[in-house]
Chain A
Amino acid sequence: MLVQGDDESTREGGQKAVSRMITQDNVDMLVGGFSSAVVSAHQSIVAEHNVPYIITGASTPVITRRTDVNTSYMFHHAPTTDDSGSQTTLFIDNVIRPAINAKFGYPQDRPLKLAVLYQDSPYGKGHLEAIKNTIANNSLKINLVSQETFKMGESDFRTALTSIKSSDPDVVYVAAFLNEQIPIETQAMRDVDLKKIFIAIEPNDDPDFYKGVGKYGEYSIIQSRFSPYTVPKGPTEAAYKKFVTDFDKKFGGFPGMMGVATYEGVYIGAKAVENAGTANKTAVKEAIANLQMPQIVEAMQGQAISFSKDFRESKFDLTMEQLVWDPTVNETRPKIVSPANLKESDFVLPDWYVPAKA
């Protein structure tokens, strides 16, 4: 039986909903949880009652790595900021940096100047940490020239972008939600004349992003795990298309990455109960921990869903897309530019792009 709880996108709302579902509805398992801050606030309630929890929304790795709460019943089925930040930083080093150096006649080993604009939250800070760690651990030729932050829900980024412009970066990496990413890219191009390549992170790959950012998003990069407008070729392609079509028929519209992750979370839970042969919470927790099941809709590393032994995280195959103007719909549409095996087109530096001074 499905019991629903609305966290109202607030810490308090999440605590109320989780408390009610555990103590009044006596649920055997929890699936969902959006926002690292909201999930962090109700984890102690889940830990107290030892309810298996498949977290499909929060992105900070801290969720299953924190030591102040017993997280052994919690499983993370969403790309973490570590995974996401690391892959994006490597893409910048492997693809964007050589493209800039080649186009503008810079030495091949010229370091790329990176600016980071991040939300002042576990999500944003997680990305910043991942970027720094990836640069340090891989000795990448990337210099962080600016680190600007903003409060969650901010809508005026002009001054932060002016500050970034004054640091003269090659690329601007943005760790923001949809309602922030749209004004950031719009204000950067329109108001601040910041002619750089902007990078958006996977929660933004949503029809509203393409609609909101309009032509200002052209040539920007978006990291994706589940795109509304491009389907990665490969073993998940058919399931991907079927899920999107079925969802649209039943509910209308595009499911979004939260929709697909939670859908998968339910199947993961069901498989674990089947494997355990009981709804006993401890047995189900063990079954999830030892789970090995084929990927469902989203492309997973090794084409299978399993959780790491250390921090109980599943690992996704993420794609990097570049937005290209489509006059037939009067919006941009994504083209996969990485990884190589899924690539639809090469990364392009637009004519208006202005690199940092050498």
Chain B
Amino acid sequence: MDIGLDIFLQVMVWGLYAGCIYILLATGLNLIFGVMKVVNFAHGQLLMIGAYVTFSFFVLTGFNPYVLLAASIPILIVIGVSIERLCFRPILGTGKLNEIFISIGLIYILENVAAMIWSDEWKVIQSPFEAITVTIGSMKIPVDYLIIIVTTVVILVGLYLFLKKSRLGLAVRATSQNRKAAMLVGINVERMDMLSFGIGAGLAGAAGTLWVVSGQVFNPYMGSVPAVKAFAIVIIGGLGSIPGAIIGGLILGIAENFTVFTIGGAWKDAVAFLILIIVLIIKPTGLFGEEAE
């Protein structure tokens, strides 16, 4: 297939956009896993709730949906903290099977609650900037996608600064690296669990808002596919590695879109697992994963 530079760049932009959503989702998932060693299968449903929170505030207030990140992130943090306190903390350490079934149960509960509140009809809203495009060469890129990419970068830089420069972030990292040692030096690891779950959910909420702003349709059952992709990214990048989630998300977003362009859309979902298999064969711990102790 003959791919001109314009087309190549256009597909690259779509890949970066998809990568942004995946990165936010996978980073949150990885943060939760890194600290709590819990795999939250209901993480995609948190994205879905983020989308509905944005939708509801948009309909009620008419605010710019980007501004509504200020609503979706805190609300999802509160929801995440509640889920950690009510669902995961009581069963932490009682066996992986309990964690798995709790999170699978959460998928159905969150989907049904969302369907009850917002109905199961597909919803869509449009960004106030939908008519604005930026011309790069002979390519027109809607400004929304540039805002989404920049917003993701800002959120990730914020997360990086929090984890690297703040005492609380240091405590989160310490808990992630060695839970027992963290406890021995006086870190309240349960508070770190709560914090990491809250931040992870907040990132999913941000992904939900950006999903909505880009004009994507959504309904209560839309979270599962992005969640599966996020899990693949977590494994590709390395369990617990945030840089791994970022690189994995970019790789997957771009690879998926070039797959659609060259082979066809039927292969889009398969490519995630093809990459996953290749990475695991070459480096079983993932791109940035470390050997287990």
The interface residues of chain A, by DSSP majority, are classed as: helix
- Chain B residues 248 to 287 lying within 8 A of chain A, measured CB to CB, are 257-258, 260-261, 264-266, 268-269
Chain A contacts to B: CB under 8 angstroms: 120, 148-151, 153-156, 158-160, 162-163, 166, 178-179, 182-183, 186-187, 190-193, 208, 212, 214
Contact of B122 among A149, A150, A178, A190 (CB under 8 A): A178
B70 at the interface (CB under 8 A from A): no
Q: Which residues of A contact B64 (CB under 8 A)?
A: none
Contact between B265 and A149, CB atoms less than 8 A apart = yes
Bound-complex Cα distance A212 to B216 (A): 11
Contact between B265 and A212, CB atoms less than 8 A apart = no
Q: Tell me the nearest residue of chain B to A213, going by C-beta.
A: B124
Q: Tell me the nearest residue of chain B to A177, going by C-beta.
A: B122
Contact between A212 and B122, CB atoms less than 8 A apart = yes
Q: Which residues of A contact B126 (CB under 8 A)?
A: 186, 190, 214
Bound-complex Cα distance A178 to B124 (A): 12
B105 at the interface (CB under 8 A from A): no
Q: Tell me the nearest residue of chain A to B13, going by C-beta.
A: A158
Contact between A187 and B215, CB atoms less than 8 A apart = yes
Which one of B34-42, B76-84, B91-99, B217-225 contacts A? B217-225
- Chain B residues 1 to 45 lying within 8 A of chain A, measured CB to CB, are 3-4, 7, 10-11, 14-15, 17-18
Contact of B266 among A120, A155, A156, A179 (CB under 8 A): A120
Bound-complex Cα distance A356 to B258 (A): 24
Contact between A148 and B264, CB atoms less than 8 A apart = yes
Q: Tell me the nearest residue of chain B to A211, going by C-beta.
A: B124
- Chain B residues 89 to 125 lying within 8 A of chain A, measured CB to CB, are 121-122, 124
Contact between A156 and B14, CB atoms less than 8 A apart = yes
Q: A150-B266, A151-B265, A156-B216 are in contact. Are A166 and B122 (CB under 8 A)?
A: no
Q: A178-B122, A182-B122, A183-B215 are in contact. Are A151 and B140 (CB under 8 A)?
A: no
**What's the minimum C-beta distance from B120 to chain A, rounded to whole angstroms?**
10
Q: Which residues of B contact A160 (CB under 8 A)?
A: 260-261, 265
Contact between B217 and A179, CB atoms less than 8 A apart = yes
**What's the minimum C-beta distance from A66 to chain B, rounded to whole angstroms?**
22
Contact between B269 and A159, CB atoms less than 8 A apart = no
Contact between A163 and B261, CB atoms less than 8 A apart = yes
Q: Which residues of A contact B219 (CB under 8 A)?
A: 179
Bound-complex Cα distance A166 to B138 (A): 13
8 A–B contact pairs at CB < 8 A?
A150-B266, A156-B14, A158-B257, A162-B7, A182-B122, A182-B217, A183-B215, A193-B133
